[in-house]
Amino acid sequence: MPKISFAKPGRAAFDAAPGTNLMQALLDHDVPVASSCHGDGVCAKCRIEVSQGLESLGARNETEEFLAERFSLKKNVRISCQVRLGDQDLTVDTTYW
Ligand code: FES
């Protein structure tokens, strides 16, 4: 089961089942995730920087690809409402954590 850890200190890592939506996994563990579209893939505010485990997340879907291009996101910045966990540990960060 992949472990989600945080690049900055102060938050406890947690385990989440492969296939779980990344944004939902964070919210389920009381980690705030910015959003104004509530996971509909419109706002791109839920972007998360992935510093470890990026390869386990798979390719961006069409919605995420569109947002990544529109907002000029780096490859390791993922739209968390569009991402499902793979089977490897992740280390994540945002500007507001
Ligand atoms: S919550 Fe709006 S794009 Fe993810």
Structural domain including 83 reads 3-93
Q: Over the chain, what is the mean pLDDT?
A: 97
Average pLDDT estimate for 34-47: 97
- Assign 11 a pLDDT band (cuts: 50, 70, 90): very high
The pTM of the full predicted model, rounded to 2 decimals, is 0.96
Q: Is 42 in the pocket of ligand 1 (CB under 6 A)?
A: yes
- C-alpha distance across the termini of the chain, in Å: 24
The token duo for 72 is 């000029």
Neighbour count for residue 58 (Cβ, 10 Å)? 11
- Residue, of 1 and 52, whose pLDDT is higher: 52
CATH number at residue 43: 3.10.20.30
Q: Which atom of ligand 1 is nearest to the CA of 42?
A: 3
Are 5 and 92 spatial neighbours (Cβ–Cβ below 8 Å)?
A: yes
Structural domain count, the chain = 1
Mean pLDDT of 16-28: 97
Confidence (pLDDT) at 81: 98
